Amino acid sequence: MKLKSYVGGQWVEGNDSGREVLNAVTGESVCSVSSSGIDFGDVVRHARQKGGPALRKMTFHERANALKEIAKLLMAQKEEFYRISAWTGATRTDGWVDIEGGISTLFTYSSLVRRELPNETFLVEDDAQRLSAKGSFIGRHILVPKEGVAVHINAFNFPCWGMLEKIAPSLAAGMPVIVKPATVSAYLTEAMVRAIVDSRLLPEGAIQLVCGGVGDLLDRLDEQDVVTFTGSASTGQKLRTHPNIVANSIPFTMEADSLNCSILGETVEPGSAEFDLFIKEVAREMTVKAGQKCTAIRRAIVPRNRADAVADALSARLTKTTLGDPSVEGVRMGPLVGRDQVDDVWSQVDKLRESCELIHGGQREFDVVGADASKGAFFPTTLLYADQPLKADAPHSIEAFGPVSTLMAYDDIDQAIAIAKLGKGSLVGSIVTGDNREARDLVLGCASYHGRLLVLNADCAKESTGHGSPLPTLVHGGPGRAGGGEELGGLRAVKHYMQRTAIQGNPTTLTAITNEFNPGSEQITDAVHPFRKYFEDLQIGETLITHRRTVTEADIVNFGCLSGDHFYAHFDEIAAKDSMFGKRVAHGYFVISAAAGMFVEPSPGPVLANYGMENLRFVEPVGIGDTIQVRLTCKQKIKKDRRSEEEQPNGVVVWDVEVRNQEDTPVAIYNILTLVARKED
């Protein structure tokens, strides 16, 4: 069978025999893979001319809803993906991380975008910056989708998750994608992309798939495009220095395999909960996906006086890991992805043995359950030991990308940190200790060399996602050898596919551009109270100036009795006089409560509920006899999706609130959010 690519709106085969891909368990042929004959210029044009414009017309929320529907579709078909995943050598647990872990990333980004971003096609970032003395000239930052294509070149070990964790923020940002999976496991990626394409949940051109080589694809890119890469550091460095990428300053995000470490704290005793957690975590990272993870623990750094105990406990646990056909009951670890990978791992282990002692596994004769070791791509769990890791280069520079790890002895915390840094940059490190002071020293000592650090102890163990699990809301990446890039990290990843532009001008002009009220902008007033208007009828900049209210001693006393807040600055005349205020002052929360009473229109109407308050600052104190007045301005409107047919269509209105005193000086500034009814869906 020839595996097809999806380009230019159709499924196409390569026009040569291609590379044969084998079942990792049985050694039987799965398919042949080739991209020969594809015109990559046409592929890029299709994304730019079809997918990009269609996505950019959609709002953030519309794109997020599409991601949610895709996730639901893929979850409904997950058993088919599990069936195919087994051909890569993955156990059910391995497949869960790849398949359902990847799908959950779509759900996460859909929720995050709908919760945190406006229902707009662009994003306004940060507060307005005043650039002139009188305020007629200000600056803002906006982010708009790049008008190119995001090319995602993925590794073989996570054919589903690797794709989904990249396309989720790309599509959410409004940028079409070209997915290029690793050839040896491309058939699983193809199955998932086929389901997405068949669903028609995305505009044509929003997603394309290239199975096989990339040909001259990188030569076809320009300054509006983005390239991401996951894989070996050597391949990534070659791609990063591609002449066209360099010439056009094309953003290139690299996430490379790294020599990640786990450090056992000095204070951890054998038999303790933390000791057992360390053994379990190292063994799990060696055996999940047969150690074929960019985040796997390659270096287990342990106190010298615990080295023997760790070696014995870890060897005993690894011995219980049954190797074989993942479909057979009781098998805990499957094969590597292919025979080429087996040869590579043996080669790297041989190099490591030149400076490290073999203490578990590492023999070419081993038992396999339910399969033929000579046909499948099996490799035994292998553990080595470096007694003087500061003097040995190999375990810090050679990675055996399989179920292989090296124990390393340290004499004190400073030495443990120094050993960790010899990896020259890692995606993740973990620290296992029940001593918080020790954890602090290790984290602050290691952080500059790691993209992520897990601190594991008995208190968080039950809910911890583990050393090797990147999460959509946290950064995935690392310095140095790990590639120097960042993926995921919540909205950071979405912004990676957008252009941040500073805009400068008159406040009223910038309000018109951004659909967000800016200080100093023209204010709109009319006879109708803004709380009497439906969402559609409200205009950005619409302003209400309230009546005035003079604050009395009775106000302060009554609010203190009601709230129970009898702070000295409100009630003790002598102490208040000696304070920074110089007099008794009103409660800050009384000021904003009084302000609400001044601007709220109390009768039933389109305003459904108070939705929250943001960015509250008390600028000046309000004393007895001071007079306050409120300016309420419609700052931003965010249309919300209906959760059910019965729900009243509505949107969130952000109001800019400024409370001023009799000298026209601001005393409190903040935003309130109200839920306002819409006339129509």
**Residues tagged active-site:** 255, 294
SS3 581: coil
Q: Are strands 650-660 and 627-639 parallel, antiparallel or unpaired?
A: antiparallel
Q: Is residue 71 within 8 Å of residue 77, measured between CB atoms?
A: no
43, 151, 222, 241 from 218: Cα distances, Å: 12, 9, 9, 11
| Amino acid symbol at 535 | F
263: β partners: 301, 431
For residue 128, which phi and psi values (nearest 5 degrees)?
Answer: -65, 145
Alpha-carbon distance of 73 to 81, in angstroms, equals: 12
Q: How many helices (H) and strands (E) does the chain have?
A: 21, 28
Alpha-carbon distance of 399 to 388, in angstroms, equals: 18
169, 204, 495 from 109: Cα distances, Å: 7, 21, 13
SS3 635: strand
Nearest to residue 30, comparing CAs of 404, 338, 491? 338
Token pair in block for residue 193: 């992309």
Nearest to residue 187, comparing CAs of 216, 214, 156? 156
To which H or E segment does residue 226 belong? strand 226-231
Residues near 122 by beta carbon (within 8 Å), at least 6 away in sequence: 142, 143, 144, 145
Q: Is residue 261 within 8 Å of residue 299, measured between CB atoms?
A: yes
Residues near 595 by beta carbon (within 8 Å), at least 6 away in sequence: 546, 628, 630, 657, 659, 668
Q: Is residue 456 within 8 Å of residue 284, measured between CB atoms?
A: no
Residues near 115 by beta carbon (within 8 Å), at least 6 away in sequence: none
Token pair in block for residue 433: 């200790």
DSSP letter (8 states) at residue 225: -
SS3 326: coil
Sole residue written with tokens 């003395």: 133
| Amino acid symbol at 581 | F
Token pair in block for residue 113: 């975008």
DSSP letter (8 states) at residue 63: H
Alpha-carbon distance of 421 to 389, in angstroms, equals: 11
Alpha-carbon distance of 226 to 249, in angstroms, equals: 10
120, 212, 353, 428, 632 from 60: Cα distances, Å: 6, 32, 53, 31, 27
Sole residue written with tokens 């081993």: 366
Residue by residue, DSSP assigns 250-288 as --EEEEE---EEEEE-TTPPTTSHHHHHHHHHHHHHHHG
231, 262, 269, 339, 435 from 481: Cα distances, Å: 11, 17, 33, 26, 30
